[in-house]
Amino acid sequence: MLSAARIMQRCDSLARHSELPGGLTRVFLSREYRAAADEVIGWMREAGMRAELDAIGNVAGRYEGNRPGAPCLMLGSHLDTVRDAGRYDGMLGVIAAIECVAALAGKGRRLPFAIEVLGFGDEEGVRFGTSMFGSRGVSGTLDPAVLEARDAKGVTLREALREFGLNPARAPQVVRKKGEVLAYAELHIEQGPLLEAEGLPVGVVSAINGFSRLRATLHGEAGHAGTVPMHLRRDALAAAAECVLAIERIARSDPGLVGTVGRIEAKPGAINVIPGEVQFTIDFRAPRDALREEAVRSAATAVQQIAAARRLRCEVQKIQELGVTACAPWLIEQFERAVAAEGLRARRLPSGAGHDGQAIQAIADVAMLFVRCKGGISHNPAESITEADAGAGARTLLGFIEHFEARS
């Protein structure tokens, strides 16, 4: 029997594994990430799955079909969080998938395909600045250069994997081949307000918006805040302020486009020193690749022009990019049938947020089911869902699994 109450309890339980007292921050390969992974592995085993931490830090569980070794329907989401996060972004998809497997196992039901549930590590990319490490690893699209990415303390991802007891040289072991994975289906909170506005507990995702992430560095000149006259300054932070506003203007130029400067660091960072160097991130998302690419070009030009006008040197570097990922029509239709079987209207909607499916689509067609969240609020501790909606989402996912027909 599928239990919505247990899904909610487990989301609460995982939220305890946090480096932020009184809140939730759980970055990849941290002590808290280990504790969450261990708890999830325990739940998977309890649900009748074989489960382990894979070679790159994902939690991987498998429930065999009626023929051992059969290709799988892959389900899952991520177990890492942003800073001061909500407790459903990512975790709900992993926990709901385990609940579906437990319901099948409880009925003694094996399907003509295996089910794998992945709890991906590092979807958010908070610690090393490169997102979807786990799902890129599984899809064979990992750029080995990301192993050299450093966290704020200067630890590389390669070192962190070793410290966690993993061997980065084994990364190729987790790569799945096309054909081994029949499809990838992820349940996730909507993180936006549409379902709530329309009074619907779930929705079927049509496509995931693409994203581009850049890092800009402005090199000015540090100096004494009391002695250098304003007209002689080369203040990198004042230039960055202009850049932030220029990026906001670019992002506002089209209703489909969004752009964010989410992180900024000024050096040396003292009240009485003119900032000599500033680094900031830029994140653009759009439902069309051309629109996003144009925004990236405009932002790079704007930063260069602002820097030049203030006699600063600048670098703008692309750190990550993934194009728009269309969900597969044959999977959308199967999800829509599962939604209808629950007596609900099947609303299609795009995803503004990024998801592991964007990486997994290199090896399998992908689909997503969204669950309504309160006020559309996410990446915020106020993230909230109801037990009834968690139940509706999980029942819909179970219906999708039980009636899943692989494309021949």
Give contact residues for Mn ion (rule: CB under 5 A). 89-90
Whose Cβ is closer to Mn ion: residue 191's or residue 217's?
191
Binding mask 28-67 for ligand GLV (x = CB under 6 A): ----------------------------------------
Strands 273-274 and 223-224, by their bridges, are: antiparallel
| Binding residues for ligand GLV restricted to 137-196, rule: CB under 6 A | none
Yes or no: say if 168 and 294 are a contact pair by the CB < 8 Å rule: no
Q: Going by C-beta distance under 8 Å and a sequence separation of 6 or more, which residues neighbour residue 163? A: 29, 155
Round to whole Å and give the CA distance between 25 and 223.
36
273: contact with ligand GLV by CB under 6 A: no
122: contact with ligand GLV by CB under 6 A: no
124: contact with ligand GLV by CB under 6 A: yes
| 403: its two tokens | 């009636």
The option from Mn ion, ligand GLV, none interacting with 105 (CB < 5 to 8 A, set by class) reads none
Max distance between CA atoms of the chain, in angstroms, equals 78
Strands 366-371 and 181-189, by their bridges, are: parallel
Q: Binder to ligand GLV among 244, 353, 362, 377 (CB under 6 A)?
A: 353
Whose Cβ is closer to ligand GLV: residue 124's or residue 235's?
124
Q: Going by C-beta distance under 8 Å and a sequence separation of 6 or more, which residues neighbour residue 65? A: 72, 110, 111, 112, 113, 114, 115
Whose Cβ is closer to ligand GLV: residue 262's or residue 329's?
262
Whose Cβ is closer to Mn ion: residue 158's or residue 188's?
188
Whose Cβ is closer to Mn ion: residue 370's or residue 404's?
370
State the nearest-atom distance from the C-beta of 223 to ligand GLV, in Å: 37
State the nearest-atom distance from the C-beta of 158 to ligand GLV, in Å: 23
The option from Mn ion, ligand GLV, none interacting with 61 (CB < 5 to 8 A, set by class) reads none
| 336: its two tokens | 């829509």
Whose Cβ is closer to Mn ion: residue 27's or residue 103's?
27
Whose Cβ is closer to ligand GLV: residue 30's or residue 378's?
378
The CB density around residue 323, as the number of other CB atoms within 10 Å, is: 16
Beta bridge partners of 116: 62, 74
The option from ligand GLV, Mn ion, none interacting with 354 (CB < 5 to 8 A, set by class) reads ligand GLV
Whose Cβ is closer to Mn ion: residue 89's or residue 336's?
89
State the nearest-atom distance from the C-beta of 69 to ligand GLV, in Å: 34
State the nearest-atom distance from the C-beta of 77 to ligand GLV, in Å: 10
Q: What one-character DSSP code corresponds to residue 384?
A: -
Beta bridge partners of 344: none
State the nearest-atom distance from the C-beta of 357 to Mn ion, in Å: 10
State the nearest-atom distance from the C-beta of 247 to ligand GLV, in Å: 17
User: Environment class of residue 177 by beta-carbon count within 10 Å: exposed (0-12), middle (13-18) or buried (19+)?
Assistant: exposed
Answer left, alpha or beta for residue 179, where phi above 0 means left and psi between -120 and 50 means alpha: left
State the nearest-atom distance from the C-beta of 125 to ligand GLV, in Å: 7
Q: Going by C-beta distance under 8 Å and a sequence separation of 6 or more, which residues neighbour residue 172? A: none
Round to whole Å and give the CA distance between 367 and 241.
39
Which residue lies nearest ligand GLV, judged by its C-beta?
Answer: 354
Cα dihedral 294, 300, 303, 309 in deg (nearest 10): -100
State the nearest-atom distance from the C-beta of 366 to ligand GLV, in Å: 15
Count residues binding ligand GLV (CB under 6 A): 3
Whose Cβ is closer to Mn ion: residue 90's or residue 201's?
90
The CB density around residue 179, as the number of other CB atoms within 10 Å, is: 9
> Angle CA(344)–CA(404)–CA(340) in degrees, nearest 5?
10
Round to whole Å and give the CA distance between 127 and 83.
10
State the nearest-atom distance from the C-beta of 283 to ligand GLV, in Å: 7
| Binding residues for ligand GLV restricted to 354-383, rule: CB under 6 A | 354
Q: Which residues bind ligand GLV (CB under 6 A)?
A: 124, 353-354
